[in-house]
C-alpha cells in the first residue's frame, strides 16, 4: 500500500467561506482568486465549491484555459495582465479580462488586431510599489486606453499593502479615490483582509472584491484573530498516521542534530510526513499537531520523510495512541475523532511563515482527494 499520507480538499468548506465573504459584501461581486493552482488546492478540485462566485481571477493563461475547460462561461481576470503580444490572442479567444499595469501592456493592446474589444482593469500603484501606474501617471494611462478601439471598458483596481495591519488602508484609499475621481468605470480594491476588516465602507466594497486566502480558510490577520472569529472553515487537511512508536528514556534525544532531549521518559510516535511532503522543515519542538484528535506537539527536527510527535498528552487524555493512529498535520480531524481543528496558520506561525505558503507547498507525491 502507499504511504498513509493524504491531503483532502473540503468542498463544503469552500462554499461556506465563499458565503461568508458574500455576507460581508452583499452589494459587490466576487472574484474567487484561484492563482497558484488555487493556493495549492487544485483548480479542478475547488471549482465546484467556488462556482458560486461571480468570476475567477488568476495569473496565467494555462490556468484560465483550465477554468474554461470546466465549463465556466463567466468572467475570468488575469491579475497581472499579459506578458507578451500573442497572449492577447488567447484573451480574445477565451474572452478573458486582464489587468493593465504598465505602458508596455498598453503598447501591446494598441497593436493587437481583434474584432472583439477587451475589458481591462487599469492597475494603480497606490503605495504598495509592486505593479501599477503611479497616481501622477494614472489618468494619462486611462486616456490612452480609453482611446483604443481594442478596448471596450476600463475598470480601476489597486492592491492594499496593510489591510491586515495597524496602518490600515486609509492612505491608499485616499490616493486611489483622488486619482480616479469622476472617471467612469467599475472599481475593485479589496483583498481578503479588506473584506474581513474594512467592508463596512461601501467605497471599500466597491463593485468587485478579490478574496483569496479567506476562501481557503486562512486568516490574513492571524494571530490577532483566528478562523473562528471570522467564521471560516479549513478547506485543506493534511493527514497521516503513526508508523512506529518508541519509548524515550530521560536524556534520550530525537532526530538529526539531537535538537530535542527528553527531560522525562516519553513515548513518541513517528509520523509518515516530512519536508519532502511539504511539511515545513523550519517547524521544530512545540509545533502543534493532532493525534487521534488530541492536541500534542512535534519534537525534534523534521526529516525528509518523517517527523516525531510526543504521545504523552494523548495518553494523558485517555487516548491510547500507537501504531496506525491518525495524525492531523493541519486542518480537520475525522468525525471519529470529533472533527477537532488545527489551524494551518498555527502551524505556519511555528515555522515562521504564513498559511499561504504551506497550502502552496504540498508536494506532488502527496495524494489529494476531495470530500
The residues annotated as belonging to the active site are 35, 256
Question: 271 to each of 240, 244, 311, 320, 326, how far by Cα in Å?
Answer: 7, 7, 11, 16, 9
Q: In whole angstroms, what is the distance from residue 101 CA to residue 79 CA?
A: 10
Of 149, 168, 333, the C-alpha closest to 239 is 333
Phi, psi (rounded to 5 degrees) for 9: -100, 130
Q: In whole angstroms, what is the distance from residue 210 CA to residue 188 CA?
A: 7
Q: Long-range contacts for 298-302 (Cβ within 8 Å, ≥24 apart)?
A: 298/350, 299/254, 299/255, 299/260, 299/266, 299/268, 300/253, 300/254, 300/255, 300/256, 300/259, 300/260, 301/254, 301/255, 301/256, 301/257, 301/259, 301/260, 302/274, 302/275
Rounded to 10 degrees, what is the CA torsion of 137, 139, 140, 141? 80
Provide the pairing of β-strand 6-9 with 368-370.
parallel
Q: In whole angstroms, what is the distance from residue 148 CA to residue 86 CA?
A: 18
Rounded to 10 degrees, what is the CA torsion of 211, 215, 217, 219? 0
Burial class (CB in 10 A: 0-12, 13-18, 19+), 317: middle
Q: Please, which residues have CB within 8 angstroms of residue 283's CB and are 6 or more apart in sequence? A: 298, 302, 307, 347, 350, 351
Q: In whole angstroms, what is the distance from residue 195 CA to residue 209 CA?
A: 7
Helix (H) or strand (E) run with residue 288 in it: strand 288-291
Report the 10 Å Cβ neighbour count for 295: 17
**Residue-wise DSSP of 28-44:** SEEEEE-HHHHHTT-HH
Amino acid at each position: 500500500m502507499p504511504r498513509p499520507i493524504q491531503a483532502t480538499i473540503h468542498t463544503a468548506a469552500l462554499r461556506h467561506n465563499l458565503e461568508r465573504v458574500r455576507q460581508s459584501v452583499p452589494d459587490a461581486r466576487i472574484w474567487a482568486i484561484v492563482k497558484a493552482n488555487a493556493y495549492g488546492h487544485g483548480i479542478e478540485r475547488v471549482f465546484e465549491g467556488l462556482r458560486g462566485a461571480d468570476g475567477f481571477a488568476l495569473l496565467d493563461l494555462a490556468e484560465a484555459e483550465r477554468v474554461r475547460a470546466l465549463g465556466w462561461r463567466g468572467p475570468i481576470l488575469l491579475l497581472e495582465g499579459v506578458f507578451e503580444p500573442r497572449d492577447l490572442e488567447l484573451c480574445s479567444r477565451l474572452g478573458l479580462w486582464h489587468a493593465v499595469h504598465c505602458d508596455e501592456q498598453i503598447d501591446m493592446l494598441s497593436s493587437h488586431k481583434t474584432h472583439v474589444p477587451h475589458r481591462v482593469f487599469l492597475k494603480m500603484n497606490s503605495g504598495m510599489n509592486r505593479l501599477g501606474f503611479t497616481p501622477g501617471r494614472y489618468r494619462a494611462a486611462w486616456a490612452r486606453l480609453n482611446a483604443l478601439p481594442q478596448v471596450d471598458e476600463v475598470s480601476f483596481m489597486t492592491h492594499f499593502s496593510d489591510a491586515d495591519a495597524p496602518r490600515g488602508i486609509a492612505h491608499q484609499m485616499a490616493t486611489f479615490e483622488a486619482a480616479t475621481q469622476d472617471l467612469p468605470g467599475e472599481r475593485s480594491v479589496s483583498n481578503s483582509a479588506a473584506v474581513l476588516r474594512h467592508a463596512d465602507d461601501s467605497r471599500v466594497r466597491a463593485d468587485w472584491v478579490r478574496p483569496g486566502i479567506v476562501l481557503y480558510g486562512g486568516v490574513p490577520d492571524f494571530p490577532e484573530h483566528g478562523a473562528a472569529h471570522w467564521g471560516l472553515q479549513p478547506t485543506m487537511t493534511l493527514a497521516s498516521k503513526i508508523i512506529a512508536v518508541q519509548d524515550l528514556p530521560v536524556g534520550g534525544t530525537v532526530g538529526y542534530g539531537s535538537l530535542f532531549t527528553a527531560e522525562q521518559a516519553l513515548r513518541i510516535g513517528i509520523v509518515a510526513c516530512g519536508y519532502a511532503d511539504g511539511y515545513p522543515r523550519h517547524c521544530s519542538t512545540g509545533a502543534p499537531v493532532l493525534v487521534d484528535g488530541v492536541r500534542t506537539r512535534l519534537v525534534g527536527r523534521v526529516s525528509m520523510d518523517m517527523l516525531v510527535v510526543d504521545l504523552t498528552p494523548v495518553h494523558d487524555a485517555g487516548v491510547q495512541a500507537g501504531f496506525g493512529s491518525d495524525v492531523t498535520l493541519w486542518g480537520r480531524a475525522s468525525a471519529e475523532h470529533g472533527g477537532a481543528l488545527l489551524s494551518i496558520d498555527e502551524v505556519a506561525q511555528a515555522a515562521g511563515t504564513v498559511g499561504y505558503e504551506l497550502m502552496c507547498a504540498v508536494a506532488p507525491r502527496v495524494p489529494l482527494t476531495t470530500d
